[in-house]
Amino acid sequence: MNKSKNKLLELKNLCKHYPIHKGILSRITGYVHAVDGVSFSIYEGETLGLVGESGCGKSTVGRTILRLIDPSAGEIYWRGERIDQLTRAQIRPYRKEIQAVFQDPYSSLNPRMRAADIVAEPLRNFEPLSQVEGRERVRELFALVGLRPDQMLRYPHEFSGGQRQRLGIARALSVKPKLIMCDEPVSALDVSVQAQVINLLGDLQQEFAVSYLFIAHDLAVVKYISHRIAVMYLGRIVELAETAELFNRPSHPYTEALLSAIPIPDPKHQRKQIVLRDDVPSPINRPSGCHFHTRCIYAQERCKVEAPLLEELSSGHFVACHFKLNT
């Protein structure tokens, strides 16, 4: 259904490897393969959820898109134009179109700036407005995200966590971006406030047709906001599908295990729980073949040797597994 819409962003085989230096000569002794060949697209007005556990590379993907980090390899296209090799000056116009909301509303707002100035900063940067116009825009943005105009002159510490996240959203929205990269925007919030912020993001999408890359570790949260979801494990996408499809027919064993690990708030709920053994392996010494084979309950010889490719199982449902489930 998204195919008819315009492709905003496309990643092709994106990689980010960090060298590990050791000794006085700082010789490179290895690499951290944070992101290892990630490809996906985001369409206009769509939310793509990017899910995985800590260290799977999901935030690195987000930061690479913002060009806060330069990719080691691979290509990034914005509306068909390649942007991964642009210089800082050349990338500026794109920065206006791709904005970000970060996880920690405490450290991502400058404590010495007033709320109104925080929200107005991108405006000042990208759109020369008169003072009166600027203030009017900030007022509109405040109303949009559910903050009161009398709070405009306050400092970040005077706001609660949820309100700070609203400020972050207002700041991202100020320059009317096409895509907002939301990196764990609700994981620092309490449930009742988390629901407020998720609903707010949904409403804003309805109104402005903005796209989100929604990065989170919690599948239950991602489900409420995403049209499609990509699941990452150790730097690679293991499954990508439309939300309902992913939940109804998880085809990668890791997705299945992730789903079964989330506690259901119903004491009478009986379910088949798959408890994965061990921890996530280190991205420095990754397992051979399929990275997941060390923890996979279905793993066979082939998985240790041959890395599975991301294949299209049904329309729009991609899985990287030799022994796909539910097929």
Residues that bind another protein (CB under 8 A): 53-54, 160-163, 190-196, 198-199, 202, 217-221, 223-224, 243-244, 247, 257-269, 273, 275-277, 279-280
Min CB(233)–another protein separation in Å: 10
Which tokens go with 191?
Answer: 């449930």
User: Which of 80/263 has CB closer to another protein?
Assistant: 263
**DSSP state, residue 9:** E
Are 99 and 141 contacting, i.e. CB atoms less than 8 angstroms apart?
A: no
By beta-carbon proximity to another protein, the closer residue of 80 and 265 is 265
If the CB atoms of residues 75 and 218 are measured against another protein, the closer one turns out to be: 218
- Residue 261 or 305: the one with the smaller Cβ distance to another protein is 261
Residue 53 or 121 having the CB closest to another protein:
53
Provide CB contacts within 8 A for 17, sequence distance 6+. Answer: 31, 32, 33, 34, 36, 72, 73
Calculate ∠ Cα 86-88-90, nearest 5°: 55
Cβ neighbours of residue 231 closer than 8 Å, sequence gap 6 or more: 51, 52, 237, 238, 239, 240, 246, 252, 254, 255, 258
Least CB distance to another protein at residue 311 (A):
24
Find out whether 230 and 237 touch, Cβ atoms under 8 Å.
yes
Tell me how far apart the alpha carbons of residues 200 and 66 are, in angstroms, rounded to a whole number. Answer: 23
Q: How far is the CB of 122 from another protein (least distance, A)?
A: 26
Closer CB to another protein, residue 262 or residue 309?
262
Block residue for tokens 């000569």: 25
Q: Minimal distance in Å, beta carbon 287 to another protein?
A: 16
User: Minimum distance between the CB of residue 201 and another protein, rounded to whole angstroms?
Assistant: 11
Rounded CA gap, 192 and 188, in Å?
12
Helix (H, G, I), strand (E, B) or coil at 235: coil
Cα separation, 132 vs 23, in Å, equals 58
Q: C-beta of 285: minimal distance to another protein in Å?
A: 14
Pairwise CA distance, residues 77 & 267, whole Å: 47
